[in-house]
C-alpha cells in the first residue's frame, strides 16, 4: 500500500506541495517556528489543491501530517540575511522525505488502521465534486441516520471506512457562530483537528433544510443566496431564546434544534474519520454566555445524541491549548514556570467576543476576570462591508440590494471573503448582483477600518474593563493571546499592541485552539471517570461572567435585585441567605433568580423561578425563608428554597424557555423523522 501512496505523491502531490512551498520563500528564518504561518502558507493550500479523489482518502492514509512535519527543514535553507530560500534539489529532497515517511511503520491515531483501496495512477486524477457534510454513509451510521435519496457511498469511500467499535475517545467541539471545529487527542496525546467530509478543518455553521434533509457546512453556505428561506445562519446568537429569529422552510424552530443538526454533522465527521462509535464530548461556550444559553447548548448536544461531559468557556479552552503547545502540560516538567504567568485571551469569533485573563501556574489554569459581548463578532465587521457595497449600488442603480433576500445573502458571502482579503492586502473587490444589474465595488483597508472603528473600540473598552476587574496592570500581563478567526484583522493586533505595549501572541491557531483545548479537557474528564491513578494532567478554576441575584422587596416596598454570587467569583460556589416572607398568611414564596449587575430587576435577565407553595396556614409575616444557590464549574445553577419551621422545600428550578424532557423527546422525534 505504501508503494501506491508513494506513486501518488510522485505523480501528483509532490508538484502541488512544491508550488505551495514557494509561499515561504523570502520569509524570515524565525517563521519556521510560526506554526500558524506554516499551516496557512503551505499545509492547507497544498491540501486544498489536491484532486477530490485524493482528498477523499483522508490525511492519515496519505500520511499528510507526517510529511508536512519535516517539510520545511528538508526543503529550505537560510541565507546570510536570515531569509529562507528553497534548496536547488528540493524536488529530490521531497521525494526522499516521502520515501522515508512511507517506510516508517504506521502508528494509527486511534483504533485500527484505515483500510484503503486506490489504484495506482500514473497521471493526474480528474477532480470529483467535494463531499458535503451530510449525515454519514450507511457503512458508519444506521439506516435511520440517512436522508432519503442519499446516493450510496462511492466504492473508494466504502473501503476507507472502518466499522464503528466501542470508543473511549471523547471529542472537543467548538460550536461557533459562523464556523465549527471538532478535535480529539491522538494516540500520542496530541490535540488533533478532525477534517470534515470535504477535507476542511473548519465547517461553516450553516444549515440548509433541503427536501432530502438538512445539509450542513460549505454546501449549505453556497446555497444561501439561492434558497435563503431554507437557510439558518448564526444560530448561536439565538441560543437561550424560545425560537430562532425567523422561520426556516416555513417552520419555527428552537435554536437548540438547529444547533443539534450542526453538532450531529460534526459527530458523524468524527465517527467516519476515526472509525469509532463516539458519543462523548465537551462543547465550548463563550465565557460571557449566561445560564440560559449554557443550558440550551447542553440540550443541543443531547438532541444530537451526544453525551455532553461538560461545557467549557472558550477563552479557558484556548488557554489550555496554549499551555499544551508551550509545554506546560508536559508531565516531565520540561517547561516549568518559575512564577505564575498571566495570559489575556482576546477571543474575537464570528459572532461573539470574550476577554478573559487566565493565570497559568504549572498545570493550574485559573480564570481571574472575564467579560464579553454575545452580539459582537466578525459578522458585524462583515455587515460594514455589506452596508458600504449596498450604498454604492444604490447610488449607481437606485436599487437597494438589501431588500432582495437572495441578493442580500450573496452580499454577505462576498463581504466575508472581502474582509479576509483585507487582512492580507490593502484592497478587496466584491461584485453586487441584483435585479439584473451588476456593480464592481472596491473597498480599501483604510475605508474598512474607519467604518468598523466603533466595533473595534467596543472590544478595546471591554479589554480595559477586564484588566481593571482583575486588579492587574499591563506590566503584569505576560501574554496577549489572540483567538478567533476575526482576530486576524491587522487593526486588532495594532490596537492591542498600542493598548498593552506588547506584541500580540499568534502562536496558536485562532480557528482550532478552542476545540483543541476542549479535547484536552474532555480527555481529563474521561480519565477522572475511569478513576485512573496518578495526579491529573491539569486543573481548571472557572469564574462566573454574570452576577447571580434574587429579586426581593426592600424596606421601602421597592423590588430590588440582591446579588448573592458576584461576577468573577471562583467556581464552584455555594451560598445560602435567609430572607423573610412579605406578608402574613403567605400561601407561597416565589424565588426569582436573575443575572446582572444592576439593583433594578428589570435591568437584569431573569434566569428562572423556584416556587415554594402549599405553605401551612396562618404563617406569620417575616417567617424566615432559606435560599441556597449552588453554582457549578460549568456555569450551571441549582436553586433550593426552604421555609423555616415547615416541611416546605423546593428544589425544582424552572428556567426561562427551558425545554422539558418531554419537549426534548418531541424535537428528537422531529429530527429523526427528517432522517427517515
3-state secondary structure 579-641: EECCCCCCCCEEEEEEECCCCCHHHCEEEEEEEECCCCCCCCCCCEEEEEEEECCCCCEEEEE
Beta-carbon count within 10 A of 424 CB: 11
Nine-digit cell string for 27: 520569509
Q: Quick check: is 661 catalytic?
A: no
Q: Do 32 and 63 contact (CB within 8 A), yes or no?
A: no
Active-site entry in 236, 264, 419, 567: 236
Q: Residues 60, 66, 145, 174: which is the catalytic one?
A: 174
Q: Could you give the angle at which helices 90-103 and 14-21 cross, rounded to 10 degrees?
A: 130
Dihedral over Cα of 299, 304, 309, 310: its sign = negative
Q: How far apart are the first and last CA of the chain?
A: 38
Exactly one of 314, 371, 373, 382 is catalytic; name it.
Answer: 314
User: Is 236 a known active-site residue?
Assistant: yes
496 and 480 in contact (C-beta within 8 Å)? yes
Strands 654-655 and 649-650: unpaired
Q: Give the CA count within 13 Å in the CB-facing half-sphere of 220.
A: 28
Cβ contact 269:194 at 8 Å: yes
Taking the C-alpha atoms of residue 119 and residue 125, their distance in angstroms, rounded to an integer, is 11
**Residue 232: in which H helix or E strand, if any?**
strand 231-232
Cβ 382 vs Cβ 502: under 8 Å:
no
Choose, from 347, 354, 359, 380, the residue flagged as catalytic.
347
Q: Which residues of 588-614 are buried (b: 16+ CB within 10 A; e: fewer)?
A: ebebbbbbbeeeebeebebbbbbebee
Instruction: Yes or no: say if 374 and 389 are a contact pair by the CB < 8 Å rule.
Output: no
Contact between 11 and 124 (Cβ < 8 Å): yes
Q: Which residues are catalytically annotated?
A: 174, 236, 314, 347
Amino acid at each position: 500500500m505504501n508503494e501506491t501512496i508513494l506513486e501518488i505523491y510522485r505523480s501528483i502531490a509532490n508538484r502541488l506541495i512544491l508550488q505551495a512551498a514557494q509561499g515561504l520563500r523570502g520569509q524570515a528564518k524565525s517563521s519556521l517556528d510560526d506554526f500558524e504561518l506554516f499551516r496557512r502558507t503551505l499545509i492547507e493550500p497544498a491540501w486544498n489543491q489536491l484532486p477530490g479523489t485524493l482528498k477523499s482518502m483522508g490525511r492519515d492514509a496519505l500520511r499528510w501530517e507526517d510529511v508536512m512535519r519535516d517539510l520545511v527543514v528538508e526543503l529550505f535553507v537560510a541565507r546570510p540575511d536570515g531569509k529562507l530560500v528553497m534548496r536547488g534539489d528540493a524536488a529530490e529532497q521531497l521525494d526522499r522525505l516521502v520515501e522515508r515517511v512511507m517506510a516508517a511503520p504506521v502508528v494509527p491515531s486511534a483504533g485500527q488502521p484505515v483500510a484503503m483501496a486506490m489504484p495506482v495512477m500514473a497521471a493526474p486524477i480528474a477532480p470529483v465534486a467535494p463531499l458535503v457534510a451530510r449525515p454519514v454513509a450507511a457503512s458508519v451510521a444506521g439506516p435511520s441516520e440517512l436522508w432519503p435519496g442519499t446516493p450510496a457511498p462511492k466504492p473508494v469511500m466504502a473501503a476507507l471506512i472502518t466499522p464503528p467499535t466501542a470508543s473511549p475517545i471523547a471529542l472537543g467541539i467548538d460550536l461557533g457562530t459562523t464556523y465549527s471545529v471538532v478535535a480529539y487527542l491522538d494516540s500520542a496525546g496530541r490535540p488533533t483537528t478532525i477534517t470534515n467530509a470535504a477535507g476542511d478543518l473548519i465547517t461553516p455553521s450553516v444549515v440548509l433544510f433541503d427536501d432530502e434533509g438538512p445539509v450542513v457546512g460549505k454546501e449549505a453556505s453556497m446555497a444561501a443566496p439561492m434558497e435563503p428561506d431554507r437557510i439558518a445562519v448564526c444560530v448561536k446568537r439565538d441560543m437561550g431564546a424560545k425560537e430562532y429569529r425567523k422561520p426556516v422552510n416555513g417552520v419555527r424552530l428552537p435554536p437548540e434544534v438547529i444547533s443539534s443538526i450542526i453538532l450531529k454533522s460534526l459527530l458523524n465527521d468524527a465517527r467516519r474519520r476515526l472509525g469509532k462509535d463516539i458519543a462523548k464530548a465537551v462543547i465550548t461556550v463563550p465565557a460571557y454566555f449566561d445560564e440560559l444559553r449554557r443550558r440550551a447548548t447542553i440540550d443541543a448536544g443531547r438532541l444530537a445524541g451526544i453525551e455532553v461531559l461538560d461545557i467549557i468557556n472558550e477563552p479557558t479552552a484556548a488557554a489550555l491549548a496554549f499551555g499544551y503547545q508551550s509545554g506546560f502540560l508536559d508531565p516531565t516538567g520540561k517547561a516549568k514556570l518559575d512564577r505564575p504567568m498571566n495570559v489575556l485571551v482576546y477571543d474575537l469569533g464570528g459572532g461573539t467576543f470574550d476577554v478573559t485573563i487566565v493565570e497559568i501556574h504549572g498545570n493550574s489554569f485559573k480564570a481571574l476576570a472575564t467579560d464579553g459581548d454575545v452580539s459582537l463578532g466578525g459578522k458585524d465587521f462583515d455587515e460594514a462591508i455589506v452596508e458600504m457595497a449596498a450604498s454604492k449600488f444604490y447610488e449607481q442603480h437606485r436599487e437597494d440590494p438589501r431588500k432582495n433576500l437572495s441578493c442580500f445573502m450573496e452580499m454577505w458571502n462576498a463581504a466575508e471573503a472581502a474582509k479576509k482579503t483585507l487582512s492580507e492586502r490593502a484592497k478587496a473587490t466584491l461584485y453586487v448582483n441584483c435585479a439584473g444589474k451588476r456593480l464592481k465595488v472596491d473597498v480599501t483597508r483604510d475605508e474598512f477600518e474607519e467604518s468598523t472603528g466603533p466595533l473595534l473600540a467596543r472590544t478595546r473598552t471591554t479589554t480595559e474593563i477586564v484588566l481593571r476587574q482583575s486588579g492587574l496592570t499591563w506590566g503584569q500581563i505576560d501574554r496577549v493571546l489572540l483567538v478567533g478567526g476575526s482576530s486576524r484583522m491587522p487593526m486588532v493586533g495594532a490596537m492591542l499592541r498600542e493598548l498593552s505595549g506588547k506584541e500580540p501572541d499568534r502562536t496558536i491557531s485562532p480557528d482550532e485552539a478552542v476545540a483543541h483545548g476542549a479535547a484536552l479537557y474532555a480527555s481529563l474528564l474521561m480519565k477522572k471517570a475511569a478513576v485512573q491513578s496518578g495526579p491529573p494532567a491539569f486543573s481548571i478554576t472557572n469564574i462566573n461572567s454574570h452576577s447571580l441575584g434574587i429579586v426581593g422587596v426592600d424596606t421601602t416596598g421597592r423590588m430590588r435585585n440582591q446579588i448573592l454570587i458576584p461576577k468573577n467569583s471562583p467556581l464552584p460556589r455555594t451560598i445560602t441567605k435567609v430572607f423573610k416572607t412579605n406578608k402574613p398568611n403567605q400561601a407561597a414564596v416565589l424565588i426569582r433568580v436573575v443575572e446582572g449587575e444592576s439593583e433594578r430587576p428589570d435591568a437584569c435577565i431573569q434566569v428562572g423561578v423556584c416556587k415554594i407553595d402549599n405553605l401551612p396556614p396562618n404563617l406569620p409575616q417575616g417567617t424566615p425563608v432559606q435560599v441556597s444557590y449552588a453554582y457549578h464549574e460549568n456555569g450551571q445553577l441549582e436553586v433550593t428554597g426552604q421555609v423555616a419551621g415547615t416541611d416546605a422545600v423546593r428544589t425544582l428550578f424552572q428556567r426561562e424557555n427551558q425545554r422539558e424532557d418531554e419537549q426534548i423527546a418531541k424535537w428528537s422525534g422531529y429530527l429523526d423523522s427528517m432522517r427517515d
